Amino acid sequence: MGLSRRSFIRNGVSAFTVSMAAPAFLSEIARAQGASSRNIVVLYLAGGNDALSTVIPYTDPFYYSRRPNIAIPAGQVVQIGSDSSGKALGLHPRMTGLRQIFDAGSLAVIQRTGYANSSRSHFVGFDIWGTADPVQPSGEGWLGKYLATLPSPVDPLAGWAATQEVPRPLVSRSIPVPAIPDARTYSFASPNTGAAAADERAAALRMSAFAPASQPSLTFVNAAAQGAMATLDRVAAVASYTGTVAYPNNGLALALRTVAGSLVRGTGTRVFWVQTGGFDTHSAQGNTGGGAYATLMSTLNDSVFAFYNDLRGQGLLSNTLVLLYSEFGRRISENGSAGTDHGAAGVMMAMGGAVRGGIYGTAASLDPAGQNPTLENAGGDVTYQTDFRSVYARVLDNWLGASSVPILGGDFRAGAPAII
Amino acid sequence: MAGTRPIDHLLRRAAFGATPEDLAIYGELSVSAAIDRLVDYERLPDDVDSRIGTNGYLGITTRGAPFSPNTVINDSRQRWLFRMVHSERQLQEKMALFWHNHFSTGYTKVAGFAGTAQGARLMAGKPGEVPGPPGQYELFRQYGLGSFRDLLLAVARDPAMVIWLDGRTNTRTRPQENFGREIMELFTWGVGNYVEADVYAAARVFTGWNLRTSGTLADVATGYYEFIYNAGQHDTTAKTFTFAVYPNGDKTIPARTAAAGEQDGIDFITALATHPETARRLARKFWGYFVSETAEPDAQFVESVAQTYLQSGTDIRATLRAIFRSPWFQSPDAYFARYSWPVEFVVKSLKEIGWNGFSIDSARAALPGMGQTLFEPPDVAGWALGRDWFGTGSMLARMNFAAGLAGNQKFALARDAQPYRATPERVLNYLLERLTPQPLDLAQRSELAAYLRAGGAWTGADAQLQTRTSGLARLITGSGEYQFI
């Protein structure tokens, strides 16, 4: 791992402090920033998703010849039609819920997304997608930079990472983003009760405000404590949310239910980060009958479909955009362990009430022979067609109402798929 | 003042902090003698496991079954945490933790292949208690201060690693590059020293490094996985790299017979382990682990430590001894310049607050909320360290662990504070001496004193002492200052 988050933190972050938010149900700041306004939920598939098993080119003979053990039989894919080049595509058989969303016109599938000279390292790749910078993938994340454009003071719950640590994409020099993996355990414990416990909480809050400029490390840790204390009460209100539909019992679904709760209760959060892992399928990937990948697809499909239905039931679908990606796609040919190694271009998806559903981009030809411009690495990997930063640009400009050029450090608007 | 002496610094870094008993022993020693006691830990008894389940030590929790640290992963976690608190061989556990992060291997994938009982055994099975090779963590305890080259070779042959990075599916006809990539990117010299073609060549080097089973796997008492070099799966052709593999500058591992092909991997591991870039990368990691996370690795430190490492034949013991004796380590600038890992925070707080009537399982259960589950690092790169430990949720989990422990030790804390009950300031001084946070600014001390007085007039009566000392212990342990070691 060549580029550590730590080196960024050492080199650049100035100390920040959290402004004290009143422990109201919906803070004044959040109210002023428009609690019911648009939000984005970034859904990250950790490990390098095998895009060719998610969106399957089931009429490409090389898909079957190069994947004798893991190809999904053509008869079992969930058909979604053809792309603009006429290539027929199908979703993984477990993606029946996503097909319903697709049919409703609320799911965009963006094929062959990536960037030139795609990194095969999980960590470098993750940071490149997180910073939108393939050359210097360190420092602030693209979502962190977006949050910093919100009117000051930014509410402490403007961003919400449903992870233990704030991931690179939400890192900001000026905006502290809380990491809240589970709203139910996000509460303040005390060895005492009554007045002593209240005194303790008040003292802890005051101590966490200590932010000496000469001690940036201590200031950082205190800011984490202060961020927690400033958000406890609003998060507690979210924790009781159970949804209008039954969510599956897995980490991703519970994180999405928390996001839905946050939207319903009006925390004013603009950027959510949720992720689910296990996509580094070097072995025993399986095909339609089972195996690791089918389980991953069930988790993804069932969770996202529940979230979609819940938001629809709450009338919040048109305020929400889910953007899905992974750090890279995988090798076209399966390896000796019925899995796939690290590859290049992947697939992004966008879901929401305002999304222009459909298939964007064209599928690669998986023929390894000759001069096939849709492949790279001697025909081993799918090469990218749509720069992922152009998708970010579209989302920033057309959905979040921000200006993508300064956030992305360049103009990627041209050629962006018109997903929203 | 306690916590700010050279010996306190040494025990925070080369150990997991100090109990009053530890301080009684180490307080008598010179720093040099203390370093030797920590580094040459084989001189101390290896009897920590015999304390498990006995009076005077942390409790363990069993769930309707015998304590089974070789086959039940949560029991493996309890045993490791217990050792971190109670082992006299503190540096052995400290380095096992370092290597666990360095060679980051996750139980879930291993158990997904081998089953839960064999999975726990592969991660943490103790030699002598179960047959077959040691679990991976026991390998770190065994080789952790030996030669890095030997450790790297042992890890390459470790069955848990063979499962984790898919070496078991790396064959002549279908090379699988996972291990070949990570041994360079993560275990030795890091990105920038090789190209993709080297990754493919490295994968071919390790073709045939595989597993076999012995006995019946369903019976953990007799069945197990072990390493085997499977000659029939080995790619016997030459492998050429973009860098020198041999001291004479030769970049090509020669074609060998299948029977002799295991030497490919041994040559490659030796080349990586003895390369100056590996020496420098390890020196930088040791800087972060032992010296400072608030200052960049000092260039002179890196060169000096790398030299010690290379000249000693990649000997970790010699390297660590040199680090602890170095001016960079001993400088007061390094004091409290390290963000504690969650397990370090938990273990230090147990050593300082106490554990009578407390189960180590409560610490085990609290650690995931702080972002660290032993035997379950987030990915092959290990945990994100330093500031990345301190999200709002994970900081809250630390504060709440402090609350739970302080509540559990409420009566003991009040009893110990009785001699100081005359004034709040004396109680505060006593607890700060005992808990050794980074020295507090005057304003922060005033907040703590105000907390002691907030309950009305100070009488120092038992009830008040119990309430306020436990609350105070919680505030200190949950403070930002306490999170630095």
Residues facing residue A359 across a β-bridge: A109
Choose the closest CB to A231 out of B379, B392, B443. B392
| Inside any domain, residue A397 | yes
Residues of A in contact with B388 (CB under 8 A): 5-6, 165-166
Domain membership flag for residue B431: yes
- A283 and B170 in contact by Cβ < 8 A? no
Q: B351 with B460, same domain? A: yes
Strand partners, A78: A91
- The answer to whether B399 contacts chain A (CB < 8 Å) is yes
Distance from chain centroid for Cα B206 = 27
User: Which residues in chain A touch residue B339, judged by CB atoms under 8 angstroms apart?
Assistant: 217, 221
Burial of B218 (0-12, 13-18, 19+ CB in 10 A): exposed
Q: Which of A115, A110, A112 is nearest to A125 (CA)?
A: A115
* Selection from A20, A4, A5, A2 nearest residue A228 by Cα: A20
B110 contacts in chain A (CB < 8 Å): none
Q: In chain B, what percentage of residues exceed pLDDT 70? A: 100
Closest CB to B191: pick one of A5, A121, A189: A121
Amino acid at B470: S
**Structural domain includes residue A415:** no
CA A384 to CA A116: how far, in whole Å?
7
Residues B353 and B479 in one domain: yes
| Cα-Cα end-to-end distance for chain A | 35
Element (H, E) at A40: strand A39-45
Token code pair at residue B77: 């976690």
Low-confidence ranges of chain A (pLDDT < 70): 1-36, 288-289
Q: Which of B371, B386, B397 sits opposite A9 (nearest CB)?
A: B386
Which chain A residues have a beta carbon less than 8 Å from that of B396?
186-188, 225, 228, 232
Residues B414 and B288 in one domain: no
Flag whether A373 is in a domain: yes
- B313 and B377 in a single domain? The answer is no
Q: Is residue A167 part of a domain?
A: yes
Tell me whether residue B307 is in a domain.
Answer: yes
Q: Is residue B349 part of a domain?
A: yes
Q: Judge whether residue B275 has pLDDT over 90.
A: yes
Rounded (10°) CA dihedral A369, A372, A378, A382: -120
Give the three-class secondary structure for B145. Answer: coil
CA A319 to chain centre: 17
Q: Answer yes or no: do B303 and B348 share one domain.
A: no
Q: Could you tell me if B330 and B365 lie in one domain? A: no
C-alpha torsion sign, points A98, A103, A107, A108? positive
In a domain, A419, yes or no: no
The full DSSP string for A245-305 is SPPPSSHHHHHHHHHHHHHHHT----EEEEEE------S----TTSSHHHHHHHHHHHHHH
User: Are B239 and B252 a contacting pair, CB within 8 Å?
Assistant: yes
Does the residue B207 lie in any domain? Answer: no
Q: What pLDDT sits at residue A153?
A: 80
Cα distance between residue B411 and residue B463, in whole Å: 10
d(CA A249, CA B259): 50
Instruction: Please state which of the ranges A142-156, B26-40, B443-457 shows the lowest mean pLDDT.
Output: A142-156
How many structural domains does chain A have? 1
**Residue A336's closest chain B neighbor by CA?**
B174
Residue bearing tokens 């650049």: A12
Is the predicted pLDDT of residue B313 greater than 70, yes or no?
Answer: yes
Chain B CB contacts of A191 below 8 Å: 403-404, 406-408, 410, 470-471, 473-474
Pair B406, B437 in one domain: yes
Does residue A416 fall inside a structural domain? no
The DSSP output letter for B390 is: -
Q: Are residues B352 and B475 in the same domain?
A: yes
pLDDT in tens, B4-14: 999 999 999 99
Range of the domain at A126: 5-408
Residue with tokens 């799966």: B233
Q: Do B346 and B479 belong together in one domain?
A: yes
The C-alpha atoms of residue B252 and residue B240 are separated, in whole angstroms, by: 4
Q: Which of B174, B294, B394 sits opposite A165 (nearest CB)?
A: B394
- Asked if residue A413 belongs to a domain, the reply is no
Question: Within 13 Å of residue B353, how many CA atoms lie on the same side as its CB?
Answer: 33
Cis status of the peptide bond prior to A153, with omega within 30 of 0: yes
Q: Read off the tokens for A104.
A: 């409703």
Closest CA to B369 of A156, A225, A187, A182: A182
Q: What is the pLDDT of residue A288?
A: 65
Residues 199-238 of B with CB under 8 A from A: 199
What is the predicted pLDDT for the residue at A233?
85
Tell me whether residue B326 is in a domain: yes
Quickly state the pLDDT bin for B338 (edges 50, 70, 90). Answer: very high
Single-letter amino acid, residue B449 = A
Distance CA B472, CA B467 (A): 9
Domain, as residue range, for B303 = 278-334
DSSP state of B130: B
Let me know if residue B272 belongs to a domain.
no
Task: Verify that B307 and B400 share a domain, yes or no.
Answer: no
Q: Of B317, B334, B351, which residue is a domain's last? A: B334
Q: Per-residue b/e over B446-475, b at no fewer than 16 CB within 10 Å?
A: ebbbebbebbeebebeeebbbbbbbbbbbb
Distance (Å, whole) CA A233 – CA A235: 5
Contact A339 B166 (CB under 8 A): yes
> Are B348 and B471 in a shared domain?
yes
Which residue of B176, B387, B466 to mutate against A (max A Cβ within 10 Å)? B387
- Contact: B186, A1; criterion CB under 8 Å: yes
Asked if A203 and B416 touch (Cβ cutoff 8 Å), the reply is no
Q: Which residues of B touch A164 (CB under 8 A)?
A: 369-371, 391, 393-394
Query: What is the predicted pLDDT for the residue at B234?
Result: 98
Q: Specify which residues B341 forms β-bridges with.
A: none
B386 in contact with A, Cβ within 8 Å: yes
Domains identified in chain B, total number: 3
d(CA B485, CA B482): 8
DSSP state of B403: H
Do residues A346 and A326 make contact, with C-beta atoms less than 8 angstroms apart? yes
Confidence of residue B458 (pLDDT cuts 50, 70, 90): very high
Residue B472 pLDDT > 70: yes
Q: Find the Cα–Cα–Cα–Cα dihedral B84, B86, B88, B89, rounded to 10°.
A: -20
> Is B171 close to A336, i.e. CB distance below 8 A?
yes
Handedness of CA A335, A339, A341, A342 (dihedral sign): positive
- Tell me the count of A-B CB pairs closer than 8 A: 217
- B171 within a domain of the structure (yes/no): no
Mean pLDDT, chain B, rounded, equals 96
Which two three-digit tokens encode residue A15?
A: 């100390």
Q: Whose CA is closest to A111, among A372, A344, A409?
A: A344
φ/ψ of A382, rounded to 5, equals: -80, 130
Q: Per-residue pLDDT averaged across B411-427, rounded?
A: 97
Report the residue of B207, B383, B392, B464 to disrupt the A interface, i.e. the one with the largest count of A CBs within 10 Å: B392
Q: How many helices (H) and strands (E) does chain B have?
A: 24, 4
Distance to chain A for B164, nearest Cα, Å: 10
Please check whether residues B442 and B325 belong to one and the same domain.
no
pLDDT at A16: 32
> What span, in angstroms and rounded, lies between the C-alpha atoms of B373 and B107?
10
Q: For A179, which DSSP code?
A: B
A203/B450 CB distance under 8 A? yes
- What is the arithmetic mean of pLDDT over B354-379? 93
Backbone angles phi, psi at A175, to 5 degrees: -115, 115
- DSSP lists the bridge partners of residue A39 as A320
Chain A residue with CA closest to B174: the answer is A336
CB contact under 8 A, B186 and A190: no
Q: For residue range B99-110, list pLDDT tens digits in order.
A: 999 999 999 889
Q: Is residue A134 part of a domain?
A: yes
Q: Cβ contact (<8 Å) for B384 and A165? A: yes
Evaluate the CA torsion angle B97, B98, B101, B104 in order and state its sign.
negative
Residue A22 CB neighbours (<10 A): 12
Q: Of the candidates B298, B73, B310, B76, which has an alpha carbon nearest to the alpha carbon of residue B189?
A: B310
The answer to whether residue B403 sits within a structural domain is yes
